[in-house]
Amino acid sequence: MKPHHHLDHGTVMAYAAGTLDEAFMIVVASHLALCAFCRKAVHEAEALGGELMSELAANAVSAECRTRTFAALDQATLHRLPVAVPQTELPVPLARLLDATSFKDIAWKKKAPGVAMFDIKLPAHARGQLKLLRIGAGRAMPEHGHGGEEITLVLQGAYRDHMGRFARGDVADLDQDIEHQPVVEQDGDCICLVATEAPTRFKSLAARLMQPFVGI
Ligand SMILES: [Zn+2]
């Protein structure tokens, strides 16, 4: 089944350039594992970046700059994946990160009736927060704005909001101004992978006041 909701152009460019926060990088790589359309967009963005690089190549760079650039490239390709790898319940980049192939292997923590969560530990230097969220069938999340950038990838089940139906492979690539009220469909739980910007203190206070959902 092909995803219907894709990465926005800015996210594709930032992924290709290796400038996304690590948490977002993993959500994007997981979407790419399920979406040929966005894989093509990333290849095109990378080709464009390559052309720009070759135009700039006449400028001499310092050894330090060269080292930093290669280190950044290593990071940027860390979560790249072969196209033909068979997918488990968890897309390959996420399966590798969690060393798990099934949602049954996840140590879910109950947060509220019908809501469970698993915080994914990232390396100490990593930016952004990453979590798995499981919402029960037929449940509505309270309408909420976001304390910052957020990207959500549906991995199992489906929900609907004013933007349509989101099922496995679909991404909601939202900026902080958008409010939405997802409702999970009746025939099963919905499991999502969610990356959020690491909140500043002010943002996290705002989030606590405005977002009735603890931890989102
Ligand atoms: Zn896509």
CATH number at residue 77: 2.60.120.10
Does 202 or 4 have the greater pLDDT score? 4
Over pLDDT 70: what percentage of the chain? 74
Query: How far, in Å, from the CA of 33 to the mean position of ligand 1?
Result: 9
Span from the CA of 41 to the centroid of ligand 1 (angstroms) = 9
Distance of CA 26 to the CA centre of its chain: 6
CA of 43 to the centre of ligand 1 (A): 13
**What residue numbers bound the domain in which 65 lies?**
1-216
- Total count of domains within the chain: 1
Tokens coding 56:
């700039």
Confidence of residue 213 (pLDDT cuts 50, 70, 90): very low
State the distance from the centre of ligand 1 to the C-alpha of 37, rounded, in angstroms.
Answer: 5
Q: Ligand 1: distance of its center to the CA of 150 in Å?
A: 16
More confident residue, 2 or 59: 2
| Dihedral sign of CA atoms 21, 206, 161, 192 in order | positive
Rg (CA), the chain: 18
Query: How much distance in Å is there from the Cα of 35 to the middle of ligand 1?
Result: 5
Q: Determine the Cα–Cα distance for residues 133 and 155; give it in Å rounded to an integer.
A: 10
- At residue 188, φ and ψ (nearest 5 deg) are 165, 165
The most confident of 38-52, 107-121, 191-205, by mean pLDDT: 107-121
